[in-house]
Amino acid sequence: MMQTESRFSRLDPLTKTIFIAVAISIMTYKGTLNYALYVYAFSLALVLLSKLCLSRLLKIYLAFSPFIIGLSWFNAYIASITAVPNPIEVGFMVAARILSLINFSVYFSLTTDPDDLVLSLIHNVRIPYQYAYALSIAYLILVKLLNYYVEVLHSLKGRLAIRWDFEALKLIIPLTASMLAYVSSYVDALSASMEARGFGLGDRSYWRVVKFSKADTTASALALAVATMVMLW
């Protein structure tokens, strides 16, 4: 799962969550193209500073291009027929928001070990380990779905089943069914493994502790301070 050992990739999972929540809050509260571009630049900076593979990010962009362009065009069209000024700006704002969400997803999923996420929830938030592991499993399934979708789409292109990403829309129903079957088989295997290990039978001890460091505290405080200033500005 871990791709790099940069300082930004080693941040506590909750610090990363605070970064993302703050950025999304700003992007939502300040509904303008400028702020959407600021958040996109921030999300891209996180990816670059974490030294993640840009070719992988480009593959994900291409895989989700039907949704990026389609939703942007649809929102611009709705804005134009409802007499909203600058409908083209609305389209670009939606595109910047979607790209930001993709960047944040890539940053979090490729730099966060599921075990670190579990231990951080247990030690920092005092969440019972059963619930912490449940959240971790949900996160793991989402990451696997993202990777599965991207790989299947590029496999279809490689076999010339589709020539470009927009043609994937005609396969959305069988592709969705395939993804659900994949998740179902994965969850079945995971539940059998957890049952065999006596999951949920009492308190556990852990061989390592994941807690906020000074860097995590400083970064989180700065993010919250910036968000507060932007909201009040």
In a domain, 127, yes or no: yes
* Total domains in the fold of the chain: 1
Task: List, in sequence order, the alpha helices (H) in 85-233.
Answer: 87-111, 114-124, 129-158, 172-196, 214-232
> What's the CA gap between 212 and 17, in Å, rounded?
13
In a domain, 4, yes or no: no
| Average pLDDT of every residue of the chain | 79
In a domain, 8, yes or no: no
Gyration radius of the chain over CA positions: 20
pLDDT class of 2 with cuts at 50, 70, 90 = very low
In a domain, 28, yes or no: yes
pLDDT class of 97 with cuts at 50, 70, 90 = very high
97/164: higher pLDDT = 97
- pTM confidence score: 0.75
In a domain, 77, yes or no: yes
What range defines the domain where residue 182 resides? Answer: 13-232
- Residues near 197 by Cβ (< 8 Å), separated by ≥ 6? none
- Residue 100: the pLDDT is 94
In a domain, 7, yes or no: no
Amino acid letter for position 127: I
Average pLDDT over residues 158-179: 65
> What's the CA gap between 54 and 213, in Å, rounded?
28
In a domain, 215, yes or no: yes
In a domain, 1, yes or no: no
